[in-house]
């Protein structure tokens, strides 16, 4: 498998702070190609042999702004079994409901745009329901929980110019951890 030719912006790049714009349909051929590249990149990054070959960090999600394009699109690639993946493509996503329960990633959240270790926890909803459009512009609703819920919220933050590091209290990186469930 060949690594797609995409460049992921680093946290220092000011474009990551842009608020992405709504997408109009039909999608351009360029958009379709970029979505495929993003999905391929994430899949390659999760397969150890390929990750090592291309010297990548594993990633589960990518938002369009991370490749420098301020459009409301993100993708998530979830490894459901070893080397078996489920792809999610969300265009113009909106959270329409969320659980009261909060969770956080025990070993800490990561981001392909943040190339360093970051201490602290990011509060996320345990379950969310999202409305979005598919690549043909057809509306759909999806309910996700646990890891997928975190990934979707992380990517949606990107669409609003927010990085996960913004949500960690610098004075108390583990603030309120006892009010949330670690996953």
**E-assigned strands of the chain?**
61-63, 73-81, 84-98, 102-104, 124-125, 127-133, 139-145, 181-182
Told to judge if 22 belongs to the known catalytic residues of this protein, a careful annotator would answer no
Strand 181-182's sheet: what is its strand order?
Answer: 124-125, 102-104, 181-182
Phi then psi for residue 64, to 5 deg, are: -60, -35
Radius of gyration (Cα) for the chain, nearest Å? Answer: 16
Among candidate residues 22, 49, 101, 155, the one labeled active-site is 155
* CA 148 to each of CA 31, 61, 62, 89, 178: distance values in angstroms, whole numbers, following the listed order: 23, 10, 13, 13, 22
Mind telling me the catalytic residues? 155
């Amino acid at each position: 498998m060949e690594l797609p030719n995409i460049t992921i912006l680093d946290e220092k790049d000011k474009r990551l702070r842009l608020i992405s714009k709504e997408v109009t349909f039909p999608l351009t051929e360029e958009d379709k190609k970029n979505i495929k590249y993003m999905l391929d990149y994430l899949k390659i990054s999760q397969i150890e042999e390929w990750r090592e070959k291309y010297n990548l960090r594993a990633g589960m999600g990518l938002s369009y702004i991370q490749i420098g394009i301020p459009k409301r699109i993100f993708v998530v690639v979830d490894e459901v079994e070893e080397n078996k993946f489920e792809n999610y493509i969300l265009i113009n996503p909106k959270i329409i409901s969320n659980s009261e329960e909060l969770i956080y990633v025990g070993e800490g959240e990561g981001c392909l745009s943040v190339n360093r270790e970051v201490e602290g926890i990011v509060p996320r909803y345990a379950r969310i329901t999202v409305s979005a459009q598919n690549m043909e512009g057809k509306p759909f609703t999806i309910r996700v929980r646990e890891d997928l819920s975190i990934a979707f919220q992380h990517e949606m933050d990107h669409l609003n110019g927010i990085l996960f590091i913004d949500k960690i209290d610098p004075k108390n990186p583990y603030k309120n951890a006892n009010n949330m469930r670690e996953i």
